[in-house]
């Protein structure tokens, strides 16, 4: 019933920027937190950033100072502004929504989007 759709991925040169967006749709009452994970080829999926309902943010150490996560509570969207991109940032980026409560009262710990490819290369 809940769908997360990412957008904004693409090919960018090292040092460039991209902005990813994710929209959650469905009969959603509330979402505790929204964030981003990524998975590079041959690697496990790793945490990137998260923003809570209060606006508190947290980042993986490797992206601190370069990435900024933001959330629009009213629209149930989350964005990831990625600056100073490095080749090692290349991965499929996945949006997630944690602690989702539906209008029916049903609670789901985590929903995932299908991912958007980010490639950082000259």
Rounded Cα gap, residues 13 and 120, in angstroms: 5
**What is the structure's pLDDT at 106?**
87
User: Phi and psi at residue 83, in whole multiples of 5°?
Assistant: -115, 165
**What is the structure's pLDDT at 108?**
84
DSSP helix/strand/coil, 82: strand
- Residue whose token pair is 């996560």: 69
Determine what percent of the chain is predicted with pLDDT higher than 90: 84
Per-residue pLDDT, averaged over 86-105, amounts to 94
- pLDDT, tens digit, for every residue of 14-31? 999 999 999 999 999 899
Label the pairing between strands 10-12 and 116-120: parallel
Averaged confidence pLDDT in the chain: 95
- pLDDT, tens digit, for every residue of 70-88? 999 889 999 999 999 999 9
């Amino acid at each position: 019933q809940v769908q997360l759709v990412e957008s904004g991925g693409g090919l960018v040169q090292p040092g460039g920027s991209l902005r990813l967006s994710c929209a959650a749709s469905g009969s959603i009452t509330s979402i505790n937190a929204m964030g981003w994970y990524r998975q590079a080829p041959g690697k496990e999926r790793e945490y990137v950033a998260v923003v809570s309902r209060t606006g508190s943010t947290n980042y993986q150490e490797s992206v601190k100072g370069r990435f900024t996560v933001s959330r629009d509570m009213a629209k149930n969207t989350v964005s990831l502004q990625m600056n100073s991109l490095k080749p090692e940032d290349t991965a499929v980026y996945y949006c997630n929504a944690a602690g989702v409560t539906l209008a029916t009262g049903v609670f789901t710990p985590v929903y995932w989007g299908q991912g958007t490819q980010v490639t950082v290369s000259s």
